[in-house]
Amino acid sequence: MAQANTSIVTGAGAGIGRAIAQRLAQAGDNVLVVDLNTSRADETVALINEAGGRGQAAVLDITDAAALDALIAETRNLRCLVNNAGIFDVKSFDTLTAEDFRRMYEVNLVALFGLCQRAARVMGSGGAIVNIASRAMLGASQYIHYATSKAAVGGFTRSLALELAPKGITVNAVAPGVIETDMLRARSDTNLDALRAMQPGGTLGTPDDIAAAVQFLASPEAKFITGQILLVDGGRSLGGSLGI
């Protein structure tokens, strides 16, 4: 019997990452649930296994190069890598420091690069890399350091797609808009009613909305799509006001 393909999902202990891991498991992949938090990773694995899928926890810090080496060395039949892990905080421009930018880039871009590079070395033709960007890359107030790091993810995605196309590996990104997660609710600047009022349809997204987009881009059906950044934001990026 052929061995199942493997998908790696970082930041899969909760929210969007958990939904992505569950979706890929439902599609038949063995999913490595990568997270810093042991209990959250184990909970995601339990949910996957209870639903009849195959999941395994990998507790590590994605900024740890040795840990990434070990992860890839122990992974068989890697078909898909989803770079979902990232950090975020609210900080006004006049209080930002250079260290804030370095910290944001170290996790949101440099660690992502490191895992992509290692994964691409063992992926075969038909492999897929999906990075999680953000609608904030179009511009955002009160977290410029985050927005610029996610804009960098967009440029990285398009450039890497060109590098890996000859190997038959697709590289795309999903850029979520406002997704209702525990992380969103915990933010110091969150007003859910105000956020809903800014949406053309009056509703916020769910983690599964993002997971569905990721699953498609990671699937064989998307083999002719690469270097794209898919905005999944309920139309908020269209701008303007309804009826004007």
> Cα–Cα distance between 93 and 182 in angstroms, integer?
25
Q: What is the pTM of this model?
A: 0.92
pLDDT for 46 equals 98
Would you say 60 and 34 are in contact if contact means Cβ atoms under 8 Å apart?
Answer: yes
Greatest Cα pair distance, the chain, in angstroms, is: 60
Question: Which residues form the catalytic set?
Answer: 146
Question: Which amino acid is residue 84, in one-letter code?
Answer: N
pLDDT confidence of residue 50: 98
Q: In a structure prediction context, what are the per-residue pLDDT tens digits for the chain, which is 244 residues long?
A: 557 899 999 999 999 999 999 999 999 999 999 999 999 999 999 999 999 999 999 999 999 999 999 999 999 999 999 999 999 999 999 999 999 999 999 999 999 999 999 999 999 999 999 999 999 999 999 999 999 999 999 999 999 999 999 999 999 999 998 877 666 656 656 666 666 666 665 666 799 999 999 999 999 999 999 999 999 987 777 775 544 3
Integer Cα distance of 31 and 56 in angstroms: 6
DSSP letter assigned to residue 126: T
- Cα separation, 135 vs 236, in Å, equals 9
Instruction: Read off the amino acid at residue 138.
Output: L
Q: Measure the CA angle with vertex 129, ends 230 and 212; round to 5°.
A: 50
Check if the beta carbon of residue 59 is closer than 8 Å to that of residue 36.
yes
- AA letter at 182: D
Give me the pLDDT at residue 186, please: 60
Is CATH 3.90.1530.10 what the domain over 6-178+208-232 is classified as, yes or no?
no
Q: Where are the domains of the chain?
A: 6-178+208-232
The pLDDT assigned to 15 comes to: 95
For residue 93, the tally of other CB atoms under 10 A from its CB is 10
